[in-house]
């Protein structure tokens, strides 16, 4: 019970900070999430509303990573298991902390990304650019790598690019 209350408080604080960060025009900032133990960063200007897990209705003949559709605040949204889509899915440990992160309305995509947990907000001042090899081809939605003060590496995912990615939009397989 205490864990649920702590999660609600974290989600409330994140929502407040998210709103405050959107109104400030200083530097870059990200919503930090975790998927299968990997740290991912969504640019705040591209991230939308955060939802608790809701019932999901499967869609026949869709890819495994497309979990189905869910009614969120009276609107149908597609639900994508982000770790599975990225090919980094680890065995499930439970979904108590899982959340659905929507795309910003300006991206015109009724879709949410299921992540394992929220990890707060990060700003440009808290992170340093991580140099990685340019030899591997990467999808356009994969941004820069950044490292925090604790040494954790975070991978930026550009949601605007993801929203136009042909493989992401092709949910039927």
Name all domains of the chain by residue range, CATH numbers in brackets: 2-169 (2.40.50.180)
Q: What percent of the chain has pLDDT over 90?
A: 73
SS3 state at 106: helix
In tens, the pLDDT along 72-123 reads: 999 999 999 999 999 998 877 677 889 999 999 999 999 999 999 999 999 9
Q: What angle do CA 43, 45, 50 make, to 5 degrees?
A: 80
Contact 36, 93 (CB under 8 A): no
Structure-model confidence comparison of residues 136 and 117, the more confident one: 117
Contact 79, 62 (CB under 8 A): no
For residues 137 and 142, what is the distance between their CA atoms, to the nearest angstrom? 10
Contact 35, 115 (CB under 8 A): yes
The pLDDT assigned to 1 comes to 60
Residue 105's closest CA among 30, 167, 155, 159? 159
pLDDT at residue 23 is higher than 70: no
């Amino acid at each position: 019970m205490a864990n649920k209350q702590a999660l609600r408080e974290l989600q409330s604080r994140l929502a407040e900070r998210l709103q405050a960060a959107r109104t400030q025009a200083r530097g870059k900032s990200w919503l930090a999430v975790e998927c299968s133990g990997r740290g991912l960063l969504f640019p705040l200007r591209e991230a939308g509303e955060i939802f608790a897990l809701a019932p999901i209705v499967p869609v026949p003949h869709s890819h495994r990573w497309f979990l189905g559709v869910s009614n969120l605040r009276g609107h149908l949204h597609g639900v994508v298991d982000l770790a599975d889509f990225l090919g980094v899915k680890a065995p499930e440990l439970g979904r108590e902390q899982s959340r659905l992160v929507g795309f910003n309305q300006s991206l015109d995509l009724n879709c949410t990304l299921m992540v394992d947990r929220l990890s707060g907000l990060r700003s440009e001042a808290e992170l340093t650019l991580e140099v990685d090899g340019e030899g591997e081809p990467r999808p356009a939605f994969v941004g820069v790598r950044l490292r925090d003060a604790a040494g954790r590496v975070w991978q930026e995912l550009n949601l605007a690019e993801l929203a136009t990615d042909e493989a992401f939009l092709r949910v039927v397989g």
